[in-house]
Amino acid sequence: MTQKNLLTGPTLRFDGNPMTRGWQDAVRIDSDGAVLLADGVIAAVGTANQLRKAHPQAVETHYGDDHLICPGFVDAHVHYPQTGIIASWGKRLIDWLNDYTFPEEMRLSDTAYAQEVATRYLDLTRAHGTTTVASYCTIHPHSVDALFSAAATRNQRIVAGKTCMDRNAPEGLRDTAQSAYDDSKALIERWHGTGRASYAITPRFSPTSTPDQLAALGALWGENPDCLMQTHLSEQTDEVAWVRDLFPQARDYLDTYEAHGLLGARAVFGHAIYLEPREIDRIAETGAALVHCPTSNTFIGSGLFDMAALATRNIPIGLATDTGGGSSFSMLRTMAAAYEIGQLRGTPLHAAQLIWLATAGSAITLHLGDKIGSLSTGNEADVTVLDLSSTPAIAQRQAQAKDAWESLFATIMMGDDRAIADVWIAGARQP
């Protein structure tokens, strides 16, 4: 029999969505909580005393009062191939893509380099407490194999897809409508539902796909409806104007996807800053999800996502680093940036909402809410334990905290990988 692990200490629990109801009713911290990990899943949740008594054979790891046992962080929109060019200076989206991103993505034509970056990326994100990502790869199918294989080695749940581009990208970084369809189809057959992997059909964004390619990927999605479809939507005003020129028949940016079969409940759109009322209505009607990428939106100079307005439309919203347009691998830093953008909009998010977005919220946008993102019995045993006094600066603030939320908020605003005390993936404590 495999070892059962009992984690005891302050535990984060969810009873609902804190974006659409009062956070006090949806999120709580059990100060004397416990989570039992067995056979890769969360076998029980309760108080420390209850679970100690019920499972005397379990090996206990106790986390003290200045810790918080959380679900593993879920980063709902990343580009692992951009790991090596994170924090590149001074460009906005289109120039940033051409000058920094495409040259680096070209380097992943080398399989060994793709494998090296995939491993480095998963090392870095795990060190920051992230246990699942939804990643774009490059146009090279082996870049998808590299990430799925690296994740499988660690037993990590992962979402990924081959980025498809057949125009407005350099020679060497373009596929065709047909090869995008064929390669994506073969990757779906190889990886979708294999272990903890799931596939996302991934047109990069409308400017880099011809209508033929969008239609081919729409058809592929129709044939594989339980795959996700991830892409970018309305990130910068120049980009929105470019899409208008490229697709004169389209009613708006969203319509360039919708007209080609690329809108539905399993669609996940990154950024979504400059949405028209019709687009918001259609997203809400279809059940598609949006992903807020706050460090990216400030770093590349995109704009301020309107979390408060979109959340009240019941649109599922996740949180993401958008590495390497985003300037950090850390979901703590990403929560801090989401807080700051909320402040600029006059709608600050509470710590309970921020941590929910980084876990359950992101998991729900990826249609994985019944597997990851919350410490619920039956979910997979991905757990991140925070040290809430990880640096002298945080510790001195935490010492004055009036309650657990104030204490968590200091770590959200000032924490980094030093605040990650432990990461458990599929029930196994990580090195």
Q: What is the DSSP string of 156-170?
A: --EEEE-EE--SSS-
Span 246-275, contacts to Zn ion by CB under 5 A = 270
Residue 305 interacting with ligand GUN (CB under 6 A): no
Instruction: Give the largest Cα separation in the chain, rounded.
Output: 67
Q: Which residue, 279 or 322, is less far from ligand GUN as judged by CB?
A: 322
Instruction: Identify the residue among 23, 63, 78, 79 touching ligand GUN (CB under 6 A).
Output: 79
Q: What is the DSSP string of 238-272?
A: HHHHHHHHH-TT-SSHHHHHHTTT--STTEEEEE-
Residue 245 CB, nearest approach to ligand GUN (Å)? 16
Span 309-328, contacts to ligand GUN by CB under 6 A = 322, 325
Rounded CA-CA distance 114/382 in Å is 26
Binding-residue pattern over the window 28 to 47 for Zn ion, x denoting contact by CB under 5 A: --------------------
C-alpha pair distances (Å), 46 with each of 56, 304, 376, 421? 14, 39, 10, 21
Binding-residue pattern over the window 311 to 330 for Zn ion, x denoting contact by CB under 5 A: -----------x--------
Span 206-235, contacts to ligand GUN by CB under 6 A = 232, 235
φ, ψ of residue 175 to 5 degrees: the values are -110, -155
Q: How many residues bind ligand GUN (CB under 6 A)?
A: 12
Q: Residue 373 in 3-state DSSP?
A: coil
Q: Which residue, 101 or 130, is less far from ligand GUN as judged by CB?
A: 101
Q: What is the CA 263 to chain-centroid distance, rounded?
A: 19
Residue 57 CB, nearest approach to Zn ion (Å)? 46
- The answer to whether the CB of 403 falls within 8 A of the CB of 350 is no
Q: Which does 334 bind (CB under 5 to 8 A by kind): ligand GUN, Zn ion, none?
A: none
Burial grade of 147 (CB within 10 A; 0-12, 13-18, 19 or more): buried
**Could you tell me which residues come within 8 angstroms of residue 281 by beta carbon, excluding any fewer than 6 positions away?**
none
Residue 320 CB, nearest approach to Zn ion (Å)? 8
Q: Which residue, 137 or 300, is less far from ligand GUN as judged by CB?
A: 300
Q: Which does 101 bind (CB under 5 to 8 A by kind): ligand GUN, Zn ion, none?
A: ligand GUN
**Using CB under 6 A as the criterion, which residues of the chain lie in contact with ligand GUN when the complex forms?**
79, 93, 97, 101, 204-205, 232, 235, 296, 300, 322, 325
**Using CB under 5 A as the criterion, which residues of the chain lie in contact with Zn ion when the complex forms?**
270, 322
